[in-house]
Amino acid sequence: MLLSGLFGAVLCASSSVSREIRSGTALAVMAKPVARSSFLLGKYAGLAAALSVLAYVDLLAALLSSRMAYDAYGSTDWLALVIFCVGI
């Protein structure tokens, strides 16, 4: 999960910044009185927020899938199934 998140972050960040430079959006933002560090920090914060949501959903799915397994008596953990459905 960690490696896939890091790989996804690198791909998203590199394509996002390169696309904005190519389309001229980054130049329009840089023409305003916005520091370059603020621009990159905003990009980082957006990417970190998206990856946090991804990690939360992955963690929720992993924890609840382990609880939804059949126990020794062959019954489903209905509480975990309800929590999973509400989380989705």
pLDDT digits (tens, 9 = 90+) for 27-86: 777 777 778 788 778 878 887 887 788 878 887 877 777 776 665 556 767 777 787 778
Q: How far apart, in whole angstroms, are the C-alpha atoms of residue 17 and residue 43?
A: 8
Residue 85's pLDDT is 78
Residues present in the chain in total? 88
Burial of 12 (0-12, 13-18, 19+ CB in 10 A): middle
Q: What does the pLDDT read at residue 65?
A: 74
Residue among 59, 66, 53, 39 nearest 8 (CA): 53
pTM for the structure as a whole: 0.51
pLDDT of residue 18: 76
Tell me, what's the pLDDT at 60?
A: 80
- Nearest to 50, CA basis, from 11, 4, 5, 2: 5
Quote the pLDDT of residue 24: 77
